[in-house]
Amino acid sequence: MAVNATHIAAVVGAALLEDAPWGDVTSELLIPANAVATARLVARESGVFSGGAVFVAAMTLTDDSIAVTLSVADGETFDAGTLLATVVGPARGVLQAERVALNFVQRMSGIATLTARYVAETRGTRARIVDTRKTTPGLRELERDAVRAGGGHNHRFSLSDAVMAKDNHLAVLTAGGRDLTTALLDVRARLSHTTHLEVEVDRIDQIEAVLAAGVDTIMLDNFSPEQLVEGVALVAGRALIEASGGVNLETVAAIAGTGVDIISVGALTHSVRSLDLGLDIDLGLDTDLAP
């Protein structure tokens, strides 16, 4: 499930180009060509680490003579003050890559840390914490990798991966008074046997009609914990049950306790706070290099 190195290079390369399209004019003017930097990535608060490979790519794609040593692995917890990585190389390159490298690793570690908090709240239940498609455009693969680092799981990656019929889709399917079960059976008949079918409901009385179509997962959207308990009893193992809507750190334990299989949490990626990590840099001169 690790993110493909080619994809990392493409995403990080685009970010580096955005940040320094014609080079870093400040460092080129102020920093001697023979200056060498030793930089330490240090945690300023506790959390769960994610984005090590992305941090390395930001440095080495800027200058392939920069060496990065990671002190913690993705998925590891750390305390404030922990040394996370060490960077050694030409100072101009380290300074040019610094912001992009930090932006990625701070955001990914923030996602991993928040995910771990949700997972901790559901420990002892059957419920999986999963992400959604509410990701930063272009960064989905990295953000979902961070969710996994925090102990969570991934929902469908894109619209191409599975059928998920939500309220608007069902309104079209049943236009003109068409029976919901019949409409969904027609959908199932046109699907490949390998394609997952999930259907969202927002009322208890929709459950039986959806289950009669042989769906794989039924999403109970914005159900109260009491309604979820009732829904779990009605489904009775005939499909996976996903709970969605109204999920936060204050409500997730009660939702997990109802017996649902999956809890989708858009907040893992759409409103996460980046973790506070710092890059402390010491500069020196290499007399073997031209000034």
The residue from 133, 134, 156, 188 that is catalytic is 134
Model confidence band, residue 73 (pLDDT cutoffs 50, 70, 90): very high
Model confidence band, residue 289 (pLDDT cutoffs 50, 70, 90): low
At residue 75, the pLDDT reads: 98
77: β partners? 48
Q: Is the pLDDT of residue 291 over 80?
A: no
At residue 3, the pLDDT reads: 87
pLDDT tens digits, 252-288: 999 999 999 999 999 999 999 999 999 999 988 875 6
Q: Is the pLDDT of residue 121 over 90?
A: yes
User: Please, what is the average pLDDT of the chain?
Assistant: 95
The residue from 117, 166, 188, 238 that is catalytic is 166
Examine the residue annotation and report whether 128 is marked as an active-site residue of this protein: no
pLDDT tens digits, 133-154: 999 999 999 999 999 999 999 9
The residue from 19, 63, 99, 188 that is catalytic is 99
The residue from 76, 221, 230, 286 that is catalytic is 221
At residue 23, the pLDDT reads: 94
The residue from 121, 131, 200, 261 that is catalytic is 200
Domain architecture of the chain: domains with CATH: 5-118+273-285 (3.90.1170.20), 123-270 (3.20.20.70)
pLDDT tens digits, 227-247: 999 999 999 999 999 999 999
pLDDT tens digits, 94-116: 999 999 999 999 999 999 999 99
Q: What residues contact residue 197 under an 8 Å CB cut-off, 6+ apart?
A: 162, 163, 165, 184, 187, 188, 191, 214, 215, 216, 217
Q: Is the pLDDT of residue 1 over 90?
A: no
Q: Is the pLDDT of residue 171 over 90?
A: no
Q: How many CA atoms lie within 13 A of 230 on its CB side?
A: 11
pTM of the model: 0.94
Burial class (CB in 10 A: 0-12, 13-18, 19+), 221: middle
Q: Are 218 and 211 in contact (CB under 8 A)?
A: yes
At residue 274, the pLDDT reads: 97
Examine the residue annotation and report whether 134 is marked as an active-site residue of this protein: yes
What is the percentage of the chain residues whose pLDDT exceeds 90? Answer: 91
Q: Is the pLDDT of residue 216 over 90?
A: yes
- Starting from the edge strand earliest in sequence, which strands make up the sheet with 277-285, in order? 67-70, 83-90, 35-43, 277-285
At residue 64, the pLDDT reads: 97
Q: What is the mean pLDDT of residues 58-68?
A: 98
Ramachandran region, residue 125 (left: φ > 0; alpha: ψ -120 to 50; beta: rest) = beta
